[in-house]
């Protein structure tokens, strides 16, 4: 515990008033200039097209994958989405249907609440990777975070990271359940445990993604990168559907982390409705491809 406490003390702290002021300044400075095809295409290329519904079936997921395949054929001049994100039981369906070179992402490890045994989390992660997932999205144990059981969180995340093997691990903070300092601590614990991305929320509870959480997470990603030389990605997810909302996160990433983060290896959106709205902006007319 002393080691973890020592690590946490090495990072900057934040208060919500200052964070909100910084976000306002960033959006005033950057948002108008960011509107345009370049930003919209970048956002499109960073979307994890997502279906995480109780009523998902192999047929419905197969149809979603076919839309991704068809998009690549119909719009070869545009980037396709970054990944398709589904429940573990649907990974095999995606793998068997997918012809485009996009990633297969699976939620796992007791998603969306993370309230199960670590053995179950590790097993589910391993099975999803075995079925073909190249990215795993899991939820950090929020209950343990609130109880300040930081060592347990790190040990659990490291076990899950090991189960990912070559797959990338995205750790969801469920930031709507946390205050600014808890978001700070969760971000540090996830990155120090080997996360490839830190992600705002599951979208299964409100509030979901917020620009406040995004700003704090991006500041910590930058600080972590400066300390270690390792770049961790940022994923905004939960309720982001419009172009204007997506541009807010784009501007925060651009300002805090720089242009090198504005690509799918380091920046993602978890969304289902956003793709068609962004495509409509690019095409200049209502367009539905996904």
pLDDT tens readout for residues 136-158: 999 999 999 999 999 999 999 99
In a domain, 121, yes or no: yes
d(CA 72, CA 93): 19
Q: What is the pLDDT of residue 129?
A: 98
In a domain, 278, yes or no: yes
Nearest to 66 by CA among 100, 107, 89, 106: 100
In a domain, 60, yes or no: yes
Q: What is the pLDDT of residue 205?
A: 87
pLDDT digits over 7-61, tens only? Answer: 999 999 999 999 999 999 999 999 999 999 999 999 999 999 999 999 999 999 9
In a domain, 200, yes or no: yes
In a domain, 202, yes or no: yes
Instruction: Report yes or no: 138 and 174 within 8 Å, Cβ to Cβ.
Output: no
Domain membership of residue 105 as a residue range = 2-283
Residues recorded for the chain: 290
Q: What is the pLDDT of residue 1?
A: 72
For residue 63, the domain's CATH number is 3.20.20.70
Instruction: Report yes or no: 289 and 275 within 8 Å, Cβ to Cβ.
Output: yes
In a domain, 288, yes or no: no
Q: What is the pLDDT of residue 218?
A: 98
In a domain, 289, yes or no: no
In a domain, 290, yes or no: no
pLDDT in tens, the chain (290 residues): 788 999 999 999 999 999 999 999 999 999 999 999 999 999 999 999 999 999 999 999 999 999 999 999 999 999 999 999 999 999 999 999 999 999 999 999 999 999 999 999 999 999 999 999 999 999 999 999 999 999 999 999 999 999 999 999 999 999 999 999 999 999 999 999 999 999 999 989 888 999 999 999 999 999 999 999 999 999 999 999 999 999 999 999 999 999 999 999 999 999 889 999 999 999 999 999 99
Total of domains in the chain: 1
Q: What is the pLDDT of residue 107?
A: 98
Ordered alpha helix ranges (H), 35-90: 37-45, 58-74
User: Who contacts 120 (Cβ-Cβ below 8 Å, separation ≥6)?
Assistant: 109, 110
Q: What pTM value is reported for the model? A: 0.96
Residue 76 CB neighbours (<10 A): 8
Nearest to 176 by CA among 238, 247, 268: 238
Query: What is the set of active-site residues?
Result: 137, 199, 235
Q: What is the pLDDT of residue 272?
A: 86
- Per the DSSP assignment, residues forming a β-bridge with 271 are 49
């Amino acid at each position: 515990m002393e080691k973890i406490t020592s690590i946490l003390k090495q990072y900057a702290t934040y208060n919500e008033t200052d964070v909100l002021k910084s976000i306002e300044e960033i959006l005033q400075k950057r948002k108008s200039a960011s509107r345009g095809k370049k930003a919209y295409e970048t956002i499109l290329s960073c979307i994890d097209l997502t279906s995480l519904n109780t009523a998902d079936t192999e047929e419905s997921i197969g149809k979603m994958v076919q839309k991704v395949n068809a998009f690549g054929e119909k719009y070869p001049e545009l980037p396709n989405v970054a990944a398709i994100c589904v429940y573990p039981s649907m990974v095999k369906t995606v793998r068997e249907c997918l012809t485009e070179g996009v990633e297969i992402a699976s939620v796992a490890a007791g998603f969306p609440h993370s309230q199960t045994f670590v053995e179950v989390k590790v097993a589910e992660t391993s099975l999803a990777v075995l079925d073909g997932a190249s990215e795993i999205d899991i939820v950090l144990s929020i209950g343990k975070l609130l109880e300040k059981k930081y060592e347990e969180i790190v040990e659990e995340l490291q076990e899950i990271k090991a189960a990912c093997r070559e797959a990338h691990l995205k750790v969801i903070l469920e930031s709507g359940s946390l205050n600014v300092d808890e978001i700070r601590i969760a971000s540090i614990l996830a990155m120090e445990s080997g996360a490839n991305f830190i992600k705002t929320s599951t979208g299964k509870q409100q509030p979901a993604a917020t620009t406040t959480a995004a700003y704090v997470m991006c500041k910590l990603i930058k600080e972590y990168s400066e300390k270690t030389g390792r770049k961790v990605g940022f994923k905004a997810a939960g309720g982001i559907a419009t172009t204007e909302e997506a541009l807010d996160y784009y501007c925060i990433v651009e300002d805090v982390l720089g242009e090198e983060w504005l690509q799918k290896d380091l920046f993602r959106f978890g969304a289902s409705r956003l793709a068609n709205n962004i495509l409509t902006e690019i095409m200049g007319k209502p367009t539905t491809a996904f």
